Amino acid sequence: MDERTEPAAGVSGHSPHVGGTDPATEAFVAHRNLLFTVAYEMLGSAADAEDVLQETWLRWAGVDQDTVRDPRAFLVRITTRQALTRLRVLRRRKESYVGPWLPEPLLTAPDVADDIELADSVSMAMLLVLETLAPTERAVFVLRDVFDLGYDEIAQAVDKTPAAVRQIAHRARAHVAARRPRAVVSPTETRDVLTAFRQALETGDLRRLLDMIAPDVVLLTDGGGIVPAALEPVVGADAVAEVLGRIALGPGDSRRALRPTQVNGHPALLLCLGDEIDSVLAVRIEDGRIISLYAVRNPEKLSRVNRETAVGR
């Protein structure tokens, strides 16, 4: 999944030679999915990840290719440095964000779910865990534990010594392990739970909803101050069921619809109002019950659920 045949973002202004003889363009296009995924996992924002790729391309296009021994490592290094710079800016921006901040959801191809490690790394739950890391810790964890880069390569990307990177990786790994989901839930189990959840919402069966969510369930709604959303996490089965009751479709509601989809490598739901996507609803499941709900309503974050986004390792 590290290959891509269509033009890469940031390459549109560059015309490769006929026959694909431009090595800079060929290398960038070949590794674009990897570079995008690195940037996205560091930032949680597809729009910012695309900007990072644009900046990466501009720097890559000016490199003397004869001096590059390993294009993949070189491109990852540029991408990581650009993402680190942008991550620090985003952190300041998030301090003034209205209400809970959630990652920008991606409509992903079904085969992403087949790569369990990749699907886990881009899941809503994992991206929120990564938000709790310091920028350099996040970069080191993503490059080492997700993409299996060597410590020497990572050291060059984050301007640290290999020994320091090992220490950072150990600290970040322990931090993530204490916060990540305890068990991997299969796509089939997630899909089954979401199907029952969807049916309960469509029929307005709130009692059935209560049976499906954990007593300490948490609902995060991201409206970004643009559309209505809870400004604080909604905690507890009764409180969450009350919120869900407001979007219960009920019999004969033809204007609203819940559509199954694949978001960030996992089954999810789209709440549609007519032809418009109103919300993306993702879940985290443990022991057959929903323990976390992530509802992205900010319209600025919904453009990536209209078309598939290619991710890869």
Instruction: Give the pLDDT score at 12.
Output: 43
* pTM of the predicted model as reported, rounded to 2 decimal places: 0.89
Q: Is the pLDDT of residue 304 over 70?
A: yes
Cβ 277 vs Cβ 302: under 8 Å: yes
Task: Please write the tens of the pLDDT for every residue from 5-19.
Answer: 334 444 543 434 434
Instruction: Give the pLDDT score at 50.
Output: 97
Q: Is the pLDDT of residue 51 over 60?
A: yes
Name the token pair of 78: 């540029």
Instruction: Give the pLDDT score at 252.
Output: 58
Q: Is the pLDDT of residue 261 over 90?
A: yes
- Strand 234-235 and strand 276-286: the pairing is unpaired
Average pLDDT over residues 245-263: 77
Query: Mapping DSSP to helix (H, G, I), strand (E, B) and coil, where does residue 259 land?
Result: strand
Average pLDDT over residues 34-55: 97
The Cα 5–Cα 110 span in angstroms is 19
* C-alpha to C-alpha distances, 45 to 53, 69, 109, 189, 297, nearest whole angstrom: 12, 31, 18, 27, 15
- For residue 221, what are the β-bridge partners? 295
Average pLDDT over residues 196-218: 91
Task: Please write the tens of the pLDDT for every residue from 186-199.
Answer: 888 999 999 999 99
Average pLDDT over residues 115-120: 90
Q: Is the pLDDT of residue 1 over 80?
A: no
